[in-house]
Structure 1
Amino acid sequence: MNNILQRLSAGQWLGAAILLMLVVTAWLVPLLGYDQPNAQNLQHSFAGISAKFPLGSDQFGRDMLARLAAAVRLSLGLSLLCVVTAAILGVSLGVMAAWGSQTVDSIINFVANTVMSLPGLVLVLLVAGLSPGSFVMLYVGIALTLWVEYFRVVRASVKPLINSLEIQSSMMLGFGRWYIFRRHIWPAIAGNVMTMAVFGAATSILMMAATGFVYAGLKPPTAELGLMIVELFPYFAQATWVLIQPLVVMLLMVLGFNLLAGQQE
């Protein structure tokens, strides 16, 4: 662990700091009493900054600080689920394709190429459209889009390793495939998988927001960044500062993940 931390570049430390700040803030805000992101009060529509509304309120008088904190928790939670699912699926199928028979390789490749033939956002919209407003369908759609990248990279990386002296020696000594994967394959692909996971988290957040832009994702009054931007856009001239807030939060999350995914020194 210490070796990994020492190899992080300044940009990666900055990205980690941005994400840590967002996570701590998102979980600390409810503990400070700002825990009602959906509570409406039209008398406080577009209220200014105050102790009651530290970041003001939206057109329905809802606390922007509470809504932004809830949106960050939702986005980070979804991105974590999508990345873990896509990584497990993509790595497993990539190893199976590289290590299995030609028939297995051809079948998995056909499925991956079929998924890749559709633009990622289109696939997410198709799956999410089966049950509009469903968190589960949105999660499934994004995860199905992300796994192909893991599969292609892992398959290309593992194929040359299968005939290496280390793996052939382990097989001759009777070690099982799980041991060989842990001892030889995973260390060779771990760096690439981690990098794709960080980029995948940023992609998940953007895809979730994109579905909110076209009302194909989660439904109001859910505090979701894309949906918040769409709802606030008609009031741009009236409350520019309020509209800018979810945009800035989304920018910080995506920037943090992209910086964290940078090359290690």
Structure 2
Amino acid sequence: MSSPTELVSQTQARPSKVSLPTSRLIGLGLIILLAIAAIGGPELVGKDPAKQSLLHTLELPSAAYPLGTDNLGRDMTARLLSGAQLSLSLALLSVLTAGLPGTLLGIAAAWFGGWTDRLLGAFADAVLALPGLLLVLMLAAISPGSWWALYAGISLTLWVEYFRYTRQRARIVLAEPAVEASKLLGLGPWLLVRRHLIPEIGPGLLTIAAFGAATAVNSVAALGFVSVGVRPPTAEWGVMMTELLPYWREAPFLILQPVVCLVVTMLALHLSVGGIRRP
């Protein structure tokens, strides 16, 4: 029978080599490119995405306007990059503010059990009973056209996934003999979380975060398209689709641009959660 020290040593051993599948590398590469474009693109273009020029409406791509102009003569390149900045920023902020409390509450529920687990579980079930889209619409109605309403609504619906996953996985990990051995050796709660819980729940949390970011980007675009979320003249992909829809016969290439941006972003986030192969 292994001693407590041996059990802890065995669980800390990790393979030195990790191989990423091609699909995940493509997804991560696309995310990096999108992040670079969102962070540095608007400044590099040097044009105001809200500046109108009625003498240059619905123009084809040219040296002055690489992706053409919209129905009000605004530069499409600047507007697409500004839309990427808004969508990705909201997605990142929503994932972070939903993931941190959701994970901590899940660990607390599994760690303490009893009434703590039951109360937190009941609260999470109550949030799930309210459709996420309805919650976002309610907040958007309170503050029309405000980005914070979208952010708050999306965050309030995303944290439950982190909580439920973390609580389930933490229960299993905390019941393992290696964790019991670590407690007998006198390791504190922080060391137990860092050495046992984080390696086990980390990959799953990253997967939930990627899908949560995709949900946030899609929600912002969908609400903007139906004129419930961010409103004109803000450069946002869903809003741009609505503004360009009446001109799809005259300039179909314009409305395709925000659609392609949204599809590429969703594809990148979904590909980035591909499995990890360990030799």
Normalising by structure 1, report the TM-score. Answer: 0.93
| 1:115-194 to 2 correspondences below 5 Å | 115-194=127-206
1:200 equivalent in structure 2: 212
Whether contact under 8 Å (1:34, 1:65) holds in the other structure is no
2:110 to 98, 109, 115: 98
- Whether 1:47 aligns to 2:59 is yes
Q: Which moved more, 1:228-237 or 1:31-40?
A: 31-40
Deviation at 1:116, TM superposition (A): 1.3
Within the candidate set 49, 55, 71, 1:37 is matched to 49
- For 1:31 and 1:211, the matched residues in 2 are separated by 27
How many residues end up aligned between the 2 structures?
263
Contact 1:29/1:35 (8 A) holds in 2? no
Q: Considering only aligned residues, what root-mean-square deviation do their CA atoms show, in Å?
A: 1.8
Match of 1:83 among 95, 105, 108: 95
For 1:75 and 1:155, the matched residues in 2 are separated by 30
Moved more, 64-73 or 137-146: 137-146
Which amino acid counterpart does residue 212 of structure 1 have in structure 2? G
Check 1:137–1:4 CA distance in 2 against 1; reply closer, same or farther (3 A cut): farther
State the distance in 2 between where 1:29 and 1:51 align: 17
Q: Of 19, 23, 32, which residue of structure 1 is paired with 2:35?
A: 23
1:93 deviation in Å? Answer: 1.0
**Residues 47 and 75, structure 2, Cα contact 8 Å, conserved in 1:** no
1:107-138 Cα deviation digits (max 9, x unpaired): 11111111112332222222222211222221
* Secondary structure in 2 matching 1:94: helix
Q: Which shows bigger deviation, 192-201 or 175-184?
A: 175-184
Q: 1:229 is paired with a residue of what secondary structure?
A: helix
Task: Identify the range of structure 1 (148-157 vs 177-186) with the bigger mean alpha-carbon deviation.
Answer: 177-186
Matched, 1:241 2:253: yes
Find the residue that maps to 2:45 and give its secondary structure.
Answer: coil
Structure 1 residue 28: Cα displacement: 4.1
- The alpha-carbon deviation at position 25 of structure 1 amounts to 3.0
Q: Which has the larger radius of gyration?
A: 2
Q: When the two structures are superposed, what TM-score results if normalisation uses the length of structure 2? A: 0.89
Asked if structure 2 preserves the Cα contact closer than 8 Å seen for 1:94 and 1:152, the reply is yes
Please report how far the alpha carbon of residue 5 of structure 1 lies from its aligned counterpart in structure 2 after TM superposition: 8.7
Q: Pick which of 3-12 and 222-231 moved more.
A: 3-12
Aligned-partner Cα distance in 1 for 2:35–2:103: 28
Higher mean displacement: 166-175 or 138-147? 166-175
The aligned residue for residue 236 of structure 2 is 224
Runs of 5+ unmatched residues, structure 2: 1-14
Q: Higher mean Cα deviation, 210-219 or 20-29?
A: 20-29
Q: Which residue of 1 aligns with 2:225?
A: 213
Q: Does 1:14 align with 2:20?
A: no
Partners of 2:33 and 2:16 in 1: CA distance = 21
Cα distance between partner residues in 2 of 1:133 and 1:159: 42
- Could you report, residue by residue, the CA deviation over 1:20-78 in whole angstroms, capped at 9, with x for unpaired residues? 22223334433433331110111111112112211011111110000000111111111
Q: In the alignment, is the contact (CA less than 8 A) between 2:101 and 2:159 conserved in 1?
A: yes
For structure 1, the residue ranges without an aligned partner over 5 or more in a row are none
